[in-house]
C-alpha cells in the first residue's frame, strides 16, 4: 500500500517573509491617525483586482453576506434562492435576517446553482438569488442576471472560494449587486480569518459601512448610533497580512492552477474519476482540486477519505447538501423544490477535495495520484 512518508495536509497558505514583516509593522504603527491605513490599502487592492469601485474589509465572508442581506432590506417573510450544495456559511446569514433560504439543485459540471432550477423556484416571496462560485468554479452569471432582471430580484455573489477566477473577462466578485470574499487560512489569499464585501453600488457600500460599525455614520466621532447594528470590522494586523498576500496575487493564482495541472496530467484517463471543469469563457482559480467518482466504483466520500487517511493523506468531503444536514431537518419550506434524484445530492456523495495547499509539490501530487489509482482499483474496505 502506498503511504506518504509524511502527512500531506489538504490545504494551507503560502507565507513568505513579507507577511510577518507587514503584520509586525501594522502592530507597531496602525494606531492613532494611522489606524485604518492597512485596511484602506487592502480594500483598494481588492477593489482594483476585482474591478469594482468599493470594498469593505470585514472579519469573515459570513459577515460580508450578513451585511449584504441586511443592507438590501431582506428579512422576515422574504425568500432567497440558494444552491443546496454549498458550505452552510453561504446560507446562514439569510436565516440571521429572518428570511427563508429556498434550496435548489446545482449543475453537475460546474457544481454551481442551476439557473433552470432557480427559475422554477421563483415565487411571490422571492427577493434575491444567491450564486456560489463553488471551489473556484463560476456560476452562469449571464443566465442568473437575466433571471434576476426579469423578475426584479437582487442577485448576490458568494465568491468566497473563487478569488482569481473569471467569467467572460470579468473576475469573480464583480457580479450581481454585491459579493463576498473569504481569507480563511485555507483560501487562495489567506489572513487566518477575514473577509471582504465588494460592490459597484455606492449607496449599498455606504449602507454596509454604516451597519458594520454599530449603526454609526462613517467618520462619526461622537458615538451617535442611529440603529442597533453590528461590529464587523477587520483589525489592522489581519489587513496587513492581506496586503502582503495581494502583492503576490498573480503568483498565488498561478501556483493554484499549476497544482491542478499536475493532477490533471496524472489522472488523465483514469476511468470513473472526473475533476473540476473550466468551461469556455471561464478561468478557474482551482481553490481546491476535487475528484468526483463514478458511483459504480462503490466508494462514497467517507470511504474514500478513510482510504486516503490510511495512506497518510488528508482530504475533505465535498460539501453535503444543506437539505441533508441536521441543521435543516425542520426547514421543510426550504426543501420543497428538491427531489431524491437531484444531481447535487448524487455527486456530493462520491466526491472529495484532495490536497491543494501551497505546500504541494509535483512529487506530493504524484503520491496522491498514485494513491487514488491504487484505491479505485480495489473495492472499499468497510
Give the pLDDT confidence of 269-286 residue by residue, as tens digits. Answer: 999 999 999 999 999 999
Separation of alpha carbons 355 and 314, rounded Å: 7
| Paired sense of beta strands 351-354 and 289-293, if any | antiparallel
Question: What confidence score (pLDDT) does residue 380 get?
Answer: 82
Separation of alpha carbons 290 and 351, rounded Å: 7
- pTM for this prediction: 0.97
Which domains does the chain possess?
18-246 (3.40.640.10), 249-376 (3.90.1150.10)
Give the pLDDT confidence of 254-270 residue by residue, as tens digits. Answer: 999 999 999 999 999 99
Instruction: Report the percentage of the chain scoring pLDDT > 70.
Output: 100
> How far is residue 274 CA from its own chain's centroid?
21
CB 10 within 8 A of CB 314: yes
Give the pLDDT confidence of 311-345 residue by residue, as tens digits. Answer: 999 999 999 999 999 999 999 999 999 999 999 99
Q: Where are the alpha helices (DSSP H) in the chain?
A: 18-29, 37-50, 61-71, 92-96, 115-121, 141-151, 202-212, 236-246, 249-267, 301-310, 343-348, 362-376
Q: What is the mean pLDDT of residues 12-37?
A: 97
Q: Does residue 382 register a pLDDT over 70?
A: no
Amino acid at each position: 500500500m502506498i503511504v506518504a512518508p509524511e502527512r500531506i495536509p489538504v490545504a494551507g497558505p503560502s507565507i513568505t517573509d513579507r507577511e510577518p514583516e507587514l503584520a509586525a509593522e501594522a502592530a507597531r504603527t496602525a494606531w492613532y491617525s494611522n489606524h485604518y491605513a492597512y485596511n484602506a490599502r487592502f480594500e483598494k487592492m481588492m477593489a482594483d483586482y476585482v474591478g469594482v469601485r468599493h470594498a469593505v474589509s470585514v472579519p469573515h465572508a459570513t459577515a460580508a453576506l450578513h451585511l449584504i442581506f441586511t443592507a438590501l432590506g431582506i428579512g422576515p417573510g422574504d425568500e432567497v434562492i440558494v444552491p443546496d450544495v454549498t458550505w452552510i456559511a453561504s446560507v446562514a446569514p439569510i436565516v440571521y435576517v429572518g428570511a427563508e433560504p429556498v434550496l435548489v439543485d446545482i449543475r453537475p459540471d460546474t457544481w454551481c446553482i442551476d439557473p433552470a432550477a432557480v427559475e422554477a423556484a421563483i415565487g411571490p416571496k422571492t427577493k434575491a438569488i444567491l450564486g456560489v462560485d463553488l471551489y473556484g468554479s463560476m456560476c452562469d452569471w449571464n443566465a442568473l442576471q437575466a433571471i434576476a432582471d426579469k423578475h426584479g430580484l437582487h442577485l448576490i455573489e458568494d465568491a468566497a472560494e473563487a478569488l482569481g477566477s473569471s467569467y467572460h473577462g470579468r473576475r469573480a466578485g464583480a457580479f450581481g449587486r454585491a459579493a463576498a470574499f473569504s481569507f480563511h487560512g485555507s483560501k487562495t489569499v489567506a489572513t487566518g480569518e477575514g473577509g471582504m464585501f465588494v460592490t459597484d453600488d455606492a449607496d449599498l457600500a455606504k449602507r454596509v459601512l454604516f451597519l458594520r460599525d454599530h449603526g454609526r455614520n462613517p467618520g462619526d466621532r461622537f458615538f451617535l448610533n442611529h440603529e442597533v447594528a453590528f461590529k464587523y470590522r477587520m483589525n489592522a494586523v489581519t489587513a496587513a497580512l492581506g496586503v502582503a498576500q495581494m502583492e503576490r496575487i498573480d503568483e498565488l493564482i498561478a501556483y493554484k492552477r499549476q497544482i491542478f495541472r499536475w493532477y490533471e496530467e496524472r489522472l488523465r484517463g483514469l476511468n470513473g474519476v472526473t475533476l473540476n471543469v473550466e468551461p469556455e469563457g471561464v478561468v478557474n482559480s482551482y481553490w481546491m482540486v476535487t475528484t468526483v467518482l463514478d458511483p459504480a466504483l462503490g466508494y462514497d466520500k467517507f470511504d474514500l477519505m478513510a482510504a486516503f487517511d490510511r495512506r497518510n493523506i488528508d482530504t475533505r468531503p465535498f460539501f453535503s447538501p444543506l437539505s441533508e444536514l441536521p441543521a435543516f431537518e425542520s426547514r421543510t419550506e426550504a426543501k420543497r423544490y428538491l427531489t431524491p434524484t437531484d444531481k447535487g445530492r448524487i455527486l456530493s456523495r462520491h466526491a472529495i477535495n484532495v490536497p491543494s495547499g501551497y505546500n504541494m509539490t509535483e512529487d506530493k501530487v504524484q503520491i496522491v495520484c498514485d494513491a487514488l489509482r491504487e484505491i479505485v482499483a480495489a473495492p472499499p474496505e468497510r
